[in-house]
């Protein structure tokens, strides 16, 4: 089986970018080990602190963030990082050419119940002339040179793209390496599965309410087919299912909190997932526009997300087109 680094070289990925990706997967192997040790490693449970998002940090949130932060800032090819767990960017003492944004442990509420969680990452080139400001990160998702995620489930799997194919690697625990297990991911155009947090239904805008109501009517409704709902409470797990067999995932606008009407962060959740989905043949929008075209205004900016099988995303967007934007 092919190992990770040779496949990157076969794609003509630069050695400096390969080095950054290699640093991420070294951190991922350590995170995977600690997760699979669970209570034996003393990493379950929460801390007494909140992150910049106002969310209570799990112990492993802190551990995963520190591992990625330390290793990436030591890389000669990384100029700065942005993390869900950091208030602002952290600039490396090195003068590398890449910027890395990441969610160190997506779905961390699943840790204590032994559910799947993951790491999401996005890699950008440092703009010419920019040295230390956050503005250097404020690039549209289509500017990403690489993106991916690691899902820590029964197996630890890396799914990534450097702008060409979306490939899947599985961590072989016997040799400690990520080995290629799927050459090219292709998302089916149509689907009968959707993922959404139904507990928020009363807070959604009219287009999402109408769309989901028609899905639930099944073959007796306007869609004329039955749908199954899946929800893992971790974007990584839901997106991994879509890349594996198709489906639709959405976390839309809702009116619970006027200051935070969206859940997912653009730079280190929505944009990297959107790149993967598009490169695998799917679509990713906020309901009204392509996610990869959105230019961030803040490193922690939040957006609505609709992504997955292309024809189903188009159908969901048709419902949005009937109504004015709620935001």
Q: Is 105 annotated as a binding residue?
A: yes
Q: Is 84 annotated as a binding residue?
A: yes
Q: Is 14 annotated as a binding residue?
A: no
Q: Is 107 annotated as a binding residue?
A: yes
Could you list the beta-strand ranges (E) of the chain: 46-50, 56-58, 78-83, 90-91, 98-106, 117-125, 146-152, 156-161, 167-172, 177-182, 193-195, 228-229, 248-251, 264-265, 283-285, 302-303, 305-308
Q: Is 276 annotated as a binding residue?
A: no
Q: Is 260 annotated as a binding residue?
A: no
Q: Is 69 annotated as a binding residue?
A: no
Q: Is 4 annotated as a binding residue?
A: no
Are 302 and 264 a contacting pair, CB within 8 Å?
A: yes
Q: Is 109 annotated as a binding residue?
A: yes
From 66, 128, 77, select the one nearest 100 (Cα to Cα).
77
Q: Is 92 annotated as a binding residue?
A: no
Sorted by sequence, the CB contacts under 8 Å of residue 168 that are 6+ apart come out as: 157, 158, 159, 180, 181, 182, 185, 243
Q: What residue numbers does the annotated binding site cover? A: 84, 103, 105-109, 197, 263, 269
Q: What residue numbers does the annotated binding site for substrate cover? A: 106-109, 197, 263
Q: What residue numbers does the annotated binding site for Mg(2+) cover? A: 84, 103, 105-106, 269
């Amino acid at each position: 089986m092919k190992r990770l680094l040779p496949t990157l070289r076969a794609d003509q990925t630069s050695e400096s970018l390969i080095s950054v990706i290699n640093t991420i997967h070294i951190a991922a192997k350590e995170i995977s080990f600690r997760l699979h040790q669970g209570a034996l490693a003393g990493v379950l449970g929460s801390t007494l602190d909140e992150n910049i998002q106002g969310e209570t940090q799990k112990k492993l949130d802190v551990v995963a963030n520190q591992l990625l932060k330390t290793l990436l800032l030591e890389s000669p090819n990384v100029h700065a990082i942005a993390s869900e767990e950091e208030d602002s960017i952290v600039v490396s003492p090195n003068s590398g050419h890449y910027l890395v944004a990441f969610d160190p442990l997506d779905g961390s509420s699943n840790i204590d119940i032994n559910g799947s969680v993951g790491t999401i990452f996005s890699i950008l080139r440092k703009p010419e002339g920019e040295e230390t400001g956050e503005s250097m990160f404020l690039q549209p998702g289509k500017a990403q040179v690489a993106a991916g995620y690691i899902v820590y489930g029964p197996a630890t799997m890396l799914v990534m793209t450097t702008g060409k194919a979306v490939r899947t690697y599985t961590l072989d625990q016997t040799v400690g390496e990520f080995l290629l297990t799927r050459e090219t991911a292709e998302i089916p155009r149509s689907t009968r599965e959707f993922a959404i947090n139904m507990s928020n239904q009363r807070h959604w805008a009219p287009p999402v309410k109408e769309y989901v109501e028609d899905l639930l009517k099944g073959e007796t409704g306007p869609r004329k087919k039955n749908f199954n709902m899946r929800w893992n409470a971790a974007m990584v797990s839901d997106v991994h299912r879509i890349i594996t067999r198709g489906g639709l995932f959405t976390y839309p606008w809702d009116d619970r909190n006027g200051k935070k009407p969206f859940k997912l962060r653009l730079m280190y959740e929505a944009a990297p997932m959107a790149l993967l989905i598009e490169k695998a043949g799917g679509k990713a929008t906020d309901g009204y526009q392509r996610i990869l075209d959105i230019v961030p205004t803040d490193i922690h900016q939040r957006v609505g997300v609709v992504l997955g099988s292309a024809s189903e995303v188009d159908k969901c967007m048709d419902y949005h087109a009937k109504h004015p934007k709620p935001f």
